[in-house]
Amino acid sequence: MIRIHNQLFTGLLLALFAALPAAAVPEIGEPAPPLKGTLFSGKPFDLAEMRGKVVLINYYSSYSKQCAFEIGSIEAFLEENRDKGLVVVYIGVDRPQDRHRVERMVKLYNLEGFMSNELEENGFGAKYRTPRAFVIDRQGIVRSREYGSKTPTYFQKYLVPVLAE
């Protein structure tokens, strides 16, 4: 009897999850989905207005060791490439009560960002295992989506070629 109930329960769970809409992950080579909100600095941000720029969208958690490791490298790369049209925006995925942690680190490194739960529009998805990044080219096309720390190898492979276009 218990076995039948477990099978029925499992079947109901599978049916429930199958009925939920799947979270769309931006596809490489496709137009970037909407991303719009107010940055920690108070400035509005709309990815649709970034045409002509190369945009690195980086999902961040203040609790992630990899995120802590990479943030200085991202700041340095941005400073070296801002004049080439590079824009970096951080999306914090911490709990709302930890917003101050994300905001403090992003501002400390002279970067821009906002919390995923505060966005007006977010076609990229609310949360990912961090650090996760998307590179959007000057035409608004998703060029890469990668998990892991941003190192000089990452920059050479995913950003330098797009900035050179």
Instruction: Convert the pLDDT of each residue in 66-115 to its tens digit.
Output: 999 999 999 999 999 999 999 999 999 999 999 999 999 999 999 999 99
The tens digit of pLDDT for each residue in 17-50 reads 333 334 467 789 999 999 999 999 999 999 999 9
Tokens of 41: 């600095």
Tokens of 133: 């990044």
pLDDT level of residue 118 (50, 70, 90 thresholds)? very high
The fraction of the chain above a pLDDT of 70, given in percent, is 85
Torsions phi, psi for 65 (to 5 deg): -65, -40
d(CA 123, CA 77): 26
Per-domain residue ranges for the chain? 28-164
d(CA 90, CA 68): 13
Residue type, 89: V
* pTM: predicted TM-score of the whole model, two decimal places: 0.83
CATH number for the segment(s) 28-164: 3.40.30.10
Q: Is the pLDDT of residue 159 over 70?
A: yes
d(CA 135, CA 28): 9
- 3-state SS, residue 120: coil
CA angle 155, 157, 158 (to 5 degrees): 70
d(CA 80, CA 28): 26
